[in-house]
Amino acid sequence: MDLEFGNYRLKRAERLLLGPKGPVELSARSFDILDMLLDRPDEVIGKTELFDVVWPGLVVEENTLQVHISALRKLLPAGMIVTVHGRGYKYSGPKPFVATAEAPAPPRPSIAVLPLDNMSGDPEQGYFSDGITEDIIAELGKFKEFLVIARNSSFQFRGKANDVAEVAKKLGVQYVVEGSVRKIGNRVRVTVQLIDASSTANIWGEHYDRELDDIFAIQDEITQMISARLARQARTAIASRARARPTDSMSAYDFYLRALQLAAVYDTVREAEPFLRQAVKLDPRFAAAHAMLSFVESIKFYWVYDNPDHLHAGLEMARTALQLDPDEAYGHLATGFALLYLHRFRQAEISLDRAVALNPNDPFILSIRALLLNYTNRPEEALGEIDEAQRRDPFAVGWYGDFRGIILTTAGRYREATACYAKMETVTPWSLVHLTVCHSELGEIKQAQDTLAKLKANWPGQLIDEIIDHEVDFFEDPAVCKRYRAILHRVDKEE
């Protein structure tokens, strides 16, 4: 429940403080301190109790608490938080009260863009129709007015005689876009229709028969027309968002579309690199290609954890992309990803927040921000972010469970984490660390030993401390990894 005090409202579920001028920037710890003081406004709360609640299980210097109290005093009116010498702190502002419930926001229109059929008569041209589809999904995803299903899930229905109502039910959407692409020589025909799934009524349909150079105009027109139909109240704002032509080189764009097809799948993401390098070679000012290349370079770190060179290289490539276009979401994603694993957490958060703002419907962007929240000791927020990602990509498998299991372990929800990992066909090495921790903390010693053995088999000849360094030393608070080390050593000795 929210609390109101004076001109302020503490929104607990969203972990947000609203003031007379809008949202107030608060750190997570400062929020927890304020929440605790407001919850007991007539009491003096001792420092020891504040440490126990706000920094559970951690040894923190007293000065740290003073820093957060000082930050709160700067943000709030004078006299709201007072020091009771020798005892602790007390809220002393207007009496807080439970806020009346806000009217629920109207549901956002939800939409899935099914893969446009390749009507070119050449199966090898499938990448082109897929790329056009993905580009439309990405453009629609930039509109926060919509909830847009991700490529991975909508592409589950490729090449099938689909019942629109059934597809919509499976994906949980109100509207479906379907159509086809025919590319012959230097001409392209795109046919597209927007369908209301509840009535299967065709809301809007159009076909475009253009020179290939007009493909960007076609995509823009499709996204704007769909947007206008689904969010009439935002028509003016949407119409003003027409994107700039991404490249004048159709050959560069062709390589980019091939890369998108590969980068969308974790197992083939590295294969996208040569196509992206060709794209930026043909058009050095192709910002989207530079941004995707920076993402591919940064994510190589997942394969070679002990080589931060990929992170530094990804940062440089992202810098090039963002110089060309400051609004390239994947440039900000690559920057945030690299900074996260270089332990530059505050800078990473700025970049990932910007990436989400630019494309709030991209499930991978949401998932990487979930990892940031997890590694900066905000696991409950991270779980909410993963939920948002999975809502947009309900057919995704593997990595959602991987990330969710890690976050649940951080949150101390060990039974839920083990259940999450049980659904995965293969548990990754970094999650084997977390699964060992879960079993140990649940008192399941035999399962912990078996899991540790699987983990050690992935790192033959490596010491436990070295495995921890490789697989989980990504937390802002070093105490987390220290605790994991101690647990794994204890399990190892019990064998």
495 pLDDT higher than 70: no
- Section 250-262 average pLDDT: 83
- Token duo for residue 190: 């795109």
Q: What is the pLDDT of residue 232?
A: 45
- Section 16-34 average pLDDT: 85
Q: Identify the band that residue 102 occupies on the pLDDT scale cut at 50, 70 and 90.
A: low
| CB contact at 8 A, 230 and 145 | yes
Q: Identify the band that residue 244 occupies on the pLDDT scale cut at 50, 70 and 90.
A: low
- Section 370-393 average pLDDT: 90
- Token duo for residue 291: 């941004």
More confident residue, 416 or 265: 416
Q: What is the pLDDT of residue 396?
A: 66
Reported as type and span, the H/E element at residue 356 is helix 345-358
Q: What b-and-e string marks burial along 163-179, b requiring 16 or more CB atoms within 10 Å of the CB? A: ebeebbebbebbbbbbb
Q: Identify the band that residue 239 occupies on the pLDDT scale cut at 50, 70 and 90.
A: very low
Tally the residues of the chain: 495
Q: What is the pLDDT of residues 327-354, one digit of tens each?
A: 888 999 999 999 999 999 999 999 999 9
- Section 178-197 average pLDDT: 84
- Section 199-207 average pLDDT: 78
237 pLDDT higher than 70: no
- Considering the segment(s) 365-495 as one domain, its CATH architecture is Alpha Horseshoe (1.25)
Q: How far apart are CA 337 and CA 268, in angstroms?
A: 19
Q: Identify the band that residue 235 occupies on the pLDDT scale cut at 50, 70 and 90.
A: very low
Pick the range with the lowest mean pLDDT from 58-62, 294-298, 420-424.
58-62
The mean predicted confidence, pLDDT, of the chain is: 84
106 pLDDT higher than 60: no
418 pLDDT higher than 70: yes
Q: Does domain 110-239 have CATH number 3.40.50.10610?
A: yes
| CB contact at 8 A, 286 and 256 | yes
Q: Tell me the domain boundaries of the chain.
A: 3-98, 110-239, 247-359, 365-495
Nearest to 399 by CA among 259, 267, 240: 267
Amino acid in the structure at residue 122: D
Q: Note whether 3-98 and 247-359 share their fold.
A: no
Q: What is the pLDDT of residues 465-481, one digit of tens each?
A: 888 888 888 999 999 99
Q: What is the pLDDT of residues 393-411, one digit of tens each?
A: 877 655 778 899 999 999 9
- Section 240-250 average pLDDT: 64
Pick the range with the lowest mean pLDDT from 3-12, 50-59, 278-287, 481-490.
50-59
304 pLDDT higher than 80: no
Q: Which long-range contacts (CB under 8 A, 24 or more apart) does 323-328 make?
A: 324/285, 324/286, 324/287, 324/290, 325/244, 325/287, 325/288, 325/291, 327/358, 328/287, 328/288, 328/290, 328/291, 328/358
- Section 428-446 average pLDDT: 92
236 pLDDT higher than 60: no
More confident residue, 312 or 166: 312
Place of tokens 């206008």: 228
User: Which CATH entry fits the domain spanning 3-98: 3.30.200.20, 2.130.10.30, 1.10.1740.10, 1.10.10.10?
Assistant: 1.10.10.10
- Section 115-120 average pLDDT: 85
305 pLDDT higher than 70: no
- Section 260-289 average pLDDT: 87
- Section 377-382 average pLDDT: 91
CATH numeric code, 247-359: 1.25.40.10
Q: How far apart are CA 424 and CA 253, in angstroms?
A: 36
Q: What is the pLDDT of residue 390?
A: 84
Q: Identify the band that residue 322 occupies on the pLDDT scale cut at 50, 70 and 90.
A: very high
